[in-house]
C-alpha cells in the first residue's frame, strides 16, 4: 500500500463513529434518533421516523406481524454525516421482549449511548443492555432525557447509575431546574450556559446564550436564587469525578448529558461530544491475533442476517461490520468458514429509511450484502487470512417451546425453515437427545410469534408451539470426555443438541445448577456459546 493510500485509509477511519442507543422502552429512543438524523441532514423534517414507523415494516411481509402488534423487533442500521464525520447508528429494538439480535448488535459497535428517562432512572432493560455492553467494556455515554418534565433529582440519578450499573459518572452538562422550571443546562467543559426554549418543531437548536457561570448576566438571566443554586451544585460536582477519556474508553466512566430530545435540547452538545470523544473504529480480537482497523487488508464479520426485506425478491441481507481495511463494490472476499472466495453482492447502506448502493466503505462501516444463503451470524470475511472474529456469542435462551408439525408430510420443509431461521439467529433450534422433537429457544418470548408466523408464511408449514417448563440453557463443556459421557447419560432427559451439535442442558430452575455442579464437578456450564471454532 502506498503512503498516500495509507493516509487516506487512516483519515477515513478516524472520521468514523459506530454506536448504538440502549434504553428502556419509552425513554425517547425514537425521538432522539430522529433528532440525530436531523442534525446529520439525513432527514428533513421532524416526525419522519415516527411517521414511517408503520410504513417501514411494510417493507417485509413477516414484519406485518410487528406492524399489527405496533412494535419493532428488528434492529436497523443508519448512516449519516456530521461535521466531517461519518456516523453509523445501529438501532436496537426497544420493546421489552427483545431478541438475541439486540445483544449481537452491540458486538458490532464501538460505543453506546445510554438513554435514560429522567423521571424513571435506570430501568430493567437499560440495565440488561448495559450489562451486555460491559462484557466488552464498551464505552458508554448517558443522556438523561425529558428534563422538560418533572424528573428525579440529578444527584440521585448520578448516584443510581453509579450504584446500579457500577460505572462512575462525569456530568458534562448539568440541568438547571426541571419540568416547568427547566431553564437549560450548564456545560462544564465549555463553561457555557445553554438556555432552554421550548421549541419542538425546529430542526436546529434555538440560538443559545453563552455565558460564563460567574458572569452577573447569569444572575440576570436565571434570577439570583437559581443562579446561586447552580453555582453551588457545580461546586459540589467539581469535588467529584474529573473527566478522564481513558477511563471512558475502558468503559469505567460515563460522560453524562441532560436534555430534552423532544424539544431538541441538548442533542447537539451530545452529538458534538460523540464525534469529539467517542472512539473511532477499534481494533478487534480474533482467535489468532488482534486486527487493527488501519490494516490495509479488508476484513469484516457478519452480525445480523435479515430475510425477506424485500418480499418480491425473497432476499436475505447479511449485515457486516467492517473491521479493517477498505471495501470496494464488486470485490470478492475470503469466506473463512466455507474456505472459499465469495462475491459480496449488492452492498447496501441505509440512511434513515433509504437504501443506497455502496461503492466503498471502511473499517467501522456497516454494510448490508446480498446473502444467497451462504452466511451465518459470526462468519468472518477477509482477504485470504484465516481470521475468526470472536466475541459473537449465542446467549442462553430464556423461553422454550416444542414444535408440533400439523402435517407430518411437511417435515422436510420444517427442517429447512428451522435451519434457515437458526442461521439467521432468529431462533435457537435444540434437538433433545432422547426424542426426535424440535425445541425452540429464544431470549424474548415475542420472538416465538415472529418465528411461527414466518414458518407458516415463508415455508407454508403449519405448526403449533407448546410451552416447555425451562427457563435457561447451559452449554456443557469439559476437556474430560468421560465426564461429558457421564452427564449425557445421567441427565439425558434434559439434554439437547444445538445447531452445531454442542450439548446443552435445559433447566427449569436455575438453582439446579448448584446440584449439577456438585454431581459433575468436571463440567463447566456455560451461559453463552461461542461456536465459531466448532462450527461446521
Ligand atoms: P422509545 O423509542 O424509546 O420507545 O420512545 P419514543 O421516542 O417513542 O418516546 C416515548 C414518549 O416520550 C413519546 O411520547 C415521546 O414524545 C416522549 N418524549 C421523548 N422525548 C421527550 C422529551 O424530551 N420530553 C418529553 N416531555 N417527552 C418526550 P408519546 O406520548 O408516547 O408519543 P407521541 O404521542 O409523542 O408520539
Within a 13 Å sphere around the CA of 346, how many CA atoms are in the beta-carbon half? Answer: 12
Q: How far is the CA of 137 from the centre of ligand 1 (A)?
A: 29
CA distance 140 to 130: 9
How many CB atoms neighbour CB 520 within 10 A? 20
pLDDT value, residue 74: 43
| Cα–chain center distance at 174 | 27
pLDDT at 206 over 70: no
Output the CA 166–ligand 1 centroid distance in Å: 27
pLDDT at residue 94 is higher than 60: no
Superfamily of domain 395-535: Peptide chain release factor 3, domain III (3.30.70.3280)
Condensed to tens digits (0 to 9), the pLDDT of residues 4-33 reads 888 889 999 999 999 999 998 889 988 898
For the ranges 148-152, 192-196, 312-316, which has the lowest average pLDDT?
312-316
**Which of 272-281, 423-432, 527-536 has the highest average model confidence (pLDDT)?**
272-281
Going by alpha carbons, the residue nearest to atom 15 of ligand 1 is 28
Start-end of H helices in 255-320: 267-277
One DSSP character per residue, 451-514 reads HHHHHHHHH---EEEEE-S--EEEEEE-S-HHHHHHHHHHTGGGEEE-TTS-EEEEESSTTHHH
pLDDT band with cut points at 50, 70 and 90 for residue 312:
low
Task: Please give the distance, rounded to the nearest whole angstrom, from the Cα atom of residue 274 to the centre of ligand 1.
Answer: 22
Beta-strand ranges (E) seen in 12-71 are 16-23
CATH superfamily, domain at 21-73+85-277: P-loop containing nucleotide triphosphate hydrolases (3.40.50.300)
Range 437-457 average pLDDT:
88
Per-residue pLDDT at 131? 85
Does 148 contact ligand 1 (Cβ within 6 A)? Answer: yes
Cα(293)–Cα(302) distance, integer angstroms: 16
> pLDDT-derived band of residue 209, with 50, 70 and 90 as boundaries?
low
Kindly state if the Cβ of 146 falls inside 6 Å of ligand 1.
yes
What number of H helices and E strands is found in the chain?
A: 15, 32
Task: Give the residue extent of every domain in the chain.
Answer: 21-73+85-277, 284-382, 395-535
Q: Which of 198-202, 275-279, 425-429 has the lowest mean pLDDT?
A: 198-202
CATH of domain 284-382: 2.40.30.10
Supply the residue whose CA is at minimum distance from atom 7 of ligand 1.
28
Mean model confidence pLDDT for the chain = 85
What's the CA-to-centroid distance between 31 and ligand 1, angstroms?
A: 6
How far is 18 from 90, CA to CA, in rounded Å? 8
CA distance 259 to 267: 7
Q: What average pLDDT score do residues 186-212 get? A: 67
pLDDT at 52 over 70: no
Question: Ligand 1 centroid vs 262 CA: distance in angstroms?
Answer: 7
Q: Read off the pTM.
A: 0.81
pLDDT at 309: 56
Are 456 and 462 in contact, with CB atoms under 8 Å apart? yes
pLDDT at 360 over 80: yes
Of the candidates 166, 188, 186, which has an alpha carbon nearest to the alpha carbon of residue 243?
188
User: How would residue 57 be classed by pLDDT, with cut points 50, 70 and 90?
Assistant: very low
Is 150 or 216 the better-scoring residue by pLDDT? 150
Amino acid at each position: 500500500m502506498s503512503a498516500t493510500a495509507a493516509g487516506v485509509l487512516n483519515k477515513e477511519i478516524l472520521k468514523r463513529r459506530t454506536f448504538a442507543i440502549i434504553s428502556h422502552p419509552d425513554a425517547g429512543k425514537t425521538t432522539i434518533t430522529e433528532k440525530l438524523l436531523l442534525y446529520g441532514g439525513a432527514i428533513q423534517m421532524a416526525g419522519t421516523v415516527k411517521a414511517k414507523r408503520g410504513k417501514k415494516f411494510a417493507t417485509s411481509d413477516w414484519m406485518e406481524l410487528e406492524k399489527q402488534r405496533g412494535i419493532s423487533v428488528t434492529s436497523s442500521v443508519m448512516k449519516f454525516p456530521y461535521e466531517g464525520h461519518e456516523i453509523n447508528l445501529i438501532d436496537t429494538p426497544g420493546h421489552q421482549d427483545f431478541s438475541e439480535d439486540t445483544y449481537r448488535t452491540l458486538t458490532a459497535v464501538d460505543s453506546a449511548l445510554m438513554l435514560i428517562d429522567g423521571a424513571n432512572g435506570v430501568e430493567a432493560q437499560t440495565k440488561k443492555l448495559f450489562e451486555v455492553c460491559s462484557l466488552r467494556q464498551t464505552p458508554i455515554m448517558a443522556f438523561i432525557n425529558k428534563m422538560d418534565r418533572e424528573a428525579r433529582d440529578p444527584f440521585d440519578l448520578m448516584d443510581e447509575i453509579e450504584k446500579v450499573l457500577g460505572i462512575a459518572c462525569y456530568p458534562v452538562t448539568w440541568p438547571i431546574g426541571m419540568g416547568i422550571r427547566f431553564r437549560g443546562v450548564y456545560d462544564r467543559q465549555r463553561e457555557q450556559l445553554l438556555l432552554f426554549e421550548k421549541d419542538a418543531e425546529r430542526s436546529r437548536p434555538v440560538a443559545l446564550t453563552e455565558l460564563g457561570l460567574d458572569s452577573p448576566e447569569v444572575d440576570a438571566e436565571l434570577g439570583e436564587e437559581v443562579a446561586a443554586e447552580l453555582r453551588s451544585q457545580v461546586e459540589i460536582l467539581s469535588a467529584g469525578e474529573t473527566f478522564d477519556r481513558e477511563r471512558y474508553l475502558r468503559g469505567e466512566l460515563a460522560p453524562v448529558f441532560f436534555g430534552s430530545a423532544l424539544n431538541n435540547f441538548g442533542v447537539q452538545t451530545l452529538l458534538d461530544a460523540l464525534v469529539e470523544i467517542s472512539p473511532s473504529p477499534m481494533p478487534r480480537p480474533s482467535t489468532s491475533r488482534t486486527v487493527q482497523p488501519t490494516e490495509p487488508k479488508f476484513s469484516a464479520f457478519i452480525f445480523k442476517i435479515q430475510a425477506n426485506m424485500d418480499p418480491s425478491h425473497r432476499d436475505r441481507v447479511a449485515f457486516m461490520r467492517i473491521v479493517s481495511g477498505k471495501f470496494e463494490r464488486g470485490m470478492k472476499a475470503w469466506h473463512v468458514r466455507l474456505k472459499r472466495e465469495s462475491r459480496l453482492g449488492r452492498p447496501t447502506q441505509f440512511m434513515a429509511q433509504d437504501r443506497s448502493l455502496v461503492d466503498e466503505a471502511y473499517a467501522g462501516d456497516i454494510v448490508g450484502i446480498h446473502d444467497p444463503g451462504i452466511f451465518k451470524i459470526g462468519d468472518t470475511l477477509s482477504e485470504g487470512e484465516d481470521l475468526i472474529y470472536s466475541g459473537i456469542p449465542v446467549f442462553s435462551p430464556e423461553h422454550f417451546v416444542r414444535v408440533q408439525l400439523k402435517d407430518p408430510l411437511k417435515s422436510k420443509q420444517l427442517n429447512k425453515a428451522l435451519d434457515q431461521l437458526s442461521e439467521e439467529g432468529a431462533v435457537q433450534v435444540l434437538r433433545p437427545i432422547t426424542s426426535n422433537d424440535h425445541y425452540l429457544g429464544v431470549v424474548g418470548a415475542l420472538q416465538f410469534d415472529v418465528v411461527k408466523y414466518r414458518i407458516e408464511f415463508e415455508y407454508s408449514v403449519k405448526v403449533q408451539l407448546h410451552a416447555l417448563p425451562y427457563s435457561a440453557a447451559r452449554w456443557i463443556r469439559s476437556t474430560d470426555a468421560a465426564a461429558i459421557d457421564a452427564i449425557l447419560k445421567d441427565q439425558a432427559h434434559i439434554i439437547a443438541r444445538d445447531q452445531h451439535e454442542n450439548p446443552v442442558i435445559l433447566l427449569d430452575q436455575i438453582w439446579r445448577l448448584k446440584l449439577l455442579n456438585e454431581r459433575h464437578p468436571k463440567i463447566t456450564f456455560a451461559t453463552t456459546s461461542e461456536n465459531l471454532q466448532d462450527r461446521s
